[in-house]
Amino acid sequence: MGQEEHFRDSRSRLNGYEVMDRLQIAYHEQAKAIVETLRKQGYCYVDDFHGEDTARKILGEVKELHHRQRFTDGQLVSSNGNGSMLNKKIRDDKIAWIDGKEENCATISFHMARVNALVRECNGLIEEYDIEHRTKVRVSKIEADNRYFFV
């Protein structure tokens, strides 16, 4: 038996489906619900996307990025009419753009991979649009009432 055949035979099975099949089915069902909501409302949010444990790990990684001073001042970018862009400092938040490859950001990377898989699944259900990619993730630190919020 070759290595590939051994791997195929040794994968876990659950109720007759391979675990990856179950994950794909779950993404497809979630994507169908998202697309339906987008069509009805024009927006959609997914509550409890990862669960509390993963959410806390993401928060810890975001706080670590802040501790390592990876955040910069949020700015408003607008055109001045002649094609050049002006940066205006009118926001009080701090932001960081994350691509998932940063040091000590494994959970953020996991989050981005899961979002990508869901976007690909949604893309297959929306005929009128073709979602080619998403941007980096923006994380923000906002101060309000002498408290800080990471979003």
CB 59 within 8 A of CB 66: no
Q: How far apart are the first and last CA of the chain?
A: 50
Q: How far apart are CA 44 and CA 46, in angstroms?
A: 7
Please tell me the pTM assigned to this model.
Answer: 0.69
C-alpha distances out from residue 94 to 54, 55, 117, 148, Å: 23, 20, 28, 11
Between 122 and 137, where is the model more confident? 122
pLDDT digits (tens, 9 = 90+) for 11-58: 455 555 566 677 788 888 999 999 999 999 988 888 888 889 999 999
Start-end of H helices in the chain:
3-10, 19-41, 52-67, 106-123
Confidence of residue 4 (pLDDT cuts 50, 70, 90): very low
CB 141 within 8 A of CB 148: yes
Q: Yes or no: is domain 48-151 CATH 2.60.120.620?
A: yes
**Domain residue ranges of the chain, discontinuous segments joined by +:** 1-47, 48-151
- In 3D, which of 116, 147, 136 has the Cα closest to residue 70? 136
Write down the pLDDT at residue 81.
Answer: 58
C-alpha distances out from residue 43 to 46, 71, 78, 113, Å: 10, 28, 25, 21
pLDDT digits (tens, 9 = 90+) for 124-142: 898 887 777 677 788 887 7
